């Protein structure tokens, strides 16, 4: 039975959660006897979360899709985003090709619109699963920011919802669509370093417990709506700064809402390590954290014996592949090797070539139109966010852990397996 979202209060929505989301069905425009959108169709996007990241994303999509709606619990950010959308599409509006932008305080109303083909989810991590599942069940394609999920159980629920509803999801791990990252990964895959012995991944620290002094909630912000399915903590500007502070919020540092910079940047750099090692559908099988209070030094070991280590190798956030024949260092600022000729080598036509995308945003929209999976699809995104979650669990427990990437459970560790589960309030628990 189709749920009439307009009759559902936020309080009952919070009470029903993902259980209700799984029963939510709306027939989307792209499946009403038409199959996938024709290549000539203009894709209509709704943005869920209209803060700093969405202001960047709307510019990435501006020439290839129209922003027709947005939703945010911060009314000031929503108004500011609407002005940006209308300015970007002003010329199309003058030609009658753009019918304007509508803002919503409740994202469920946005999902109810049949004229919206896809959504861009750029909220704090703790909202990704609920919103993605609901969007998929509403027949909307999804671009979701990285890390894809806040827990391993949530990530698997997202995979199931996307596959069940036959929608196309792209995760915002856009480094896969950058030439240098693809080239480095192809060099590793094709054995230019020989057998890989170790991979060093330099990213930030794991998530921490909430430790902020409560502040008065501003009138323009629905704080209950911001917290949603996560553990409730009092408002603080660190979590949701006012619109005039054009900064990335620090909610990422707190494990109730993110996974620290370990997850925030790990979703980029662990992602490249997984890609280069051919582990996109798997992951490490054992985790050996440092025994003291160190915030780096975790060893993650794959079934083939390759060790991936969370370690600072002195060159900003990036990845170092160490093999029998030398090393390759890759980051946004550099791609080089020792010896130098390895990084300069050309991959030959008969060698392994990885998925070639040169525009992460167009790649997703092409997938919507053709049905071809994008470069960072839902299973790939789930496996990368799983590495981030597992690393945080290892730092939290401070003991060696054995992981089964097929069953997605720790072996003989009930306490650690509790940390695999979704951290969702009340009746929102995954079924």
As a three-state string, the secondary structure of 249-308 is CHHHHECCCCCHHHHHCHHHHHHHHHHHHCCCCCCCCEEECCCCCCCCCCEEECCCCCEE
Confidence of residue 42 (pLDDT cuts 50, 70, 90): confident
Average pLDDT of 62-81? 97
Give residue 427's pLDDT. 56
Give residue 13's pLDDT. 42
Average pLDDT of 143-171? 98
Give residue 424's pLDDT. 83
Average pLDDT of 215-222? 98
Identify the residue with better confidence: 248 or 15: 248
Exposure letters 353-381 (e unless 16+ CB within 10 A, then b): ebbebeebbbbbbbbbbeeebbbbbbbbb
Give residue 100's pLDDT. 96
Lowest mean pLDDT among 24-33, 98-107, 114-123, 309-318: 24-33
Alpha carbon distances (Å) from 349 to 92, 277, 341, 354, 357: 43, 20, 19, 12, 17
Q: Please name the CATH architecture into which domain 5-175 falls.
A: 3-Layer(aba) Sandwich (3.40)
Confidence of residue 41 (pLDDT cuts 50, 70, 90): confident
* Segment 233-277, tens digit of pLDDT: 999 999 999 999 999 999 999 999 999 999 999 999 999 999 999
Q: Is the pLDDT of residue 20 over 80?
A: no
* Segment 360-381, tens digit of pLDDT: 999 999 999 999 999 999 999 9
Torsion, Cα 369 371 376 380, to 10 degrees, reads 160
Q: Is the pLDDT of residue 425 over 50?
A: yes
Q: What is the mean pLDDT of the chain?
A: 91
- Which three-class secondary structure state does DSSP give residue 43? strand
Q: Is the pLDDT of residue 407 over 90?
A: yes
Residue among 71, 347, 29 at smallest CA distance from 192:
347
Tokens of 108: 């469920």
- Which single residue is written with the structure tokens 């029998």? 324
Sorted by where each begins, the domain ranges of the chain are 5-175
> Contact at 8 Å (CB) between 390 and 284?
yes
Angle at alpha carbon of residue 402, lines to 398 and 403, rounded to 5°: 115
Q: Is the pLDDT of residue 321 over 70?
A: yes
Q: Is the pLDDT of residue 36 over 90?
A: no
- Which three-class secondary structure state does DSSP give residue 342? helix
Beta-sheet pairing, 169-171 with 141-144:
parallel
Q: Is the pLDDT of residue 354 over 50?
A: yes
Give residue 30's pLDDT. 45
Q: Whole-angstrom Cα distance, residue 125 to residue 431?
A: 20
Give residue 397's pLDDT. 97
Angle at alpha carbon of residue 121, lines to 119 and 122, rounded to 5°: 145
What percentage of the chain has pLDDT greater than the value 90?
87
């Amino acid at each position: 039975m189709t749920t009439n979202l307009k009759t559902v209060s936020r309080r009952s929505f919070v009470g029903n959660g993902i259980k209700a989301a799984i029963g939510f069905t709306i027939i989307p425009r792209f499946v009403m006897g038409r199959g996938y959108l024709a290549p000539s169709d203009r894709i209509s996007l709704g943005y869920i979360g209209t803060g700093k990241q969405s202001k960047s994303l709307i510019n990435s999509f501006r020439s290839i899709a129209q922003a027709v709606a947005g939703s945010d619990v911060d009314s000031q950010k929503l108004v500011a985003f609407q002005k940006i959308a209308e300015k970007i599409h002003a010329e199309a509006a003058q030609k009658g090709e753009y019918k304007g932008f509508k803002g919503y305080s409740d994202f469920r109303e946005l999902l109810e619109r049949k004229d919206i083909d896809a959504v861009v989810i750029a909220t704090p991590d703790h909202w990704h699963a609920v919103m993605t599942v609901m969007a998929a069940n509403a027949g909307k394609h999804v671009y979701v920011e990285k890390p894809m999920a806040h827990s391993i159980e949530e990530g698997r629920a997202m995979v199931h919802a996307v596959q069940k509803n036959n929608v196309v999801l792209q995760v915002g791990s856009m480094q896969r669509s950058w030439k240098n990252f693809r080239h480095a990964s192809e060099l590793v895959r094709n054995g230019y370093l020989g057998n890989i012995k170790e991979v060093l991944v330099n990213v930030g620290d794991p998530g921490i417990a909430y430790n902020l002094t409560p502040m008065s909630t501003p009138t323009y912000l629905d704080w209950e709506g911001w917290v949603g399915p996560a553990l409730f903590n009092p408002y603080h500007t660190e979590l949701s700064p006012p619109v005039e502070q054009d900064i990335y919020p620090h909610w990422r540092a707190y494990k109730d809402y993110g996974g620290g910079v370990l997850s925030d940047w790990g979703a980029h750099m662990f992602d490249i390590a997984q890609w280069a090692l051919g582990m996109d559908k798997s992951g490490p099988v054992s985790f050996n954290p440092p025994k003291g209070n160190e915030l780096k030094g975790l060893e993650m070991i794959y079934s083939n014996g390759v060790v991936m280590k969370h370690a600072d190798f002195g060159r900003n956030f990036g990845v170092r592949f160490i093999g029998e024949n030398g090393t390759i260092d890759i980051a946004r600022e550099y791609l080089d090797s020792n010896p130098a000729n390895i990084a300069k080598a050309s991959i030959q036509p008969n060698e392994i070539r990885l998925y070639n995308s040169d525009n992460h945003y167009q790649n997703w929209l092409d997938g919507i139109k053709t049905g071809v999976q994008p470069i960072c699809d839902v299973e790939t995104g789930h496996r990368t966010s799983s590495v981030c979650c597992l690393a945080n669990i290892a730092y939290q427990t401070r003991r060696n852990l054995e992981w089964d990437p097929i069953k997605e459970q720790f072996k003989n560790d009930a306490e650690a397996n509790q940390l695999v589960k979704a951290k969702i309030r009340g009746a929102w628990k995954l079924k």
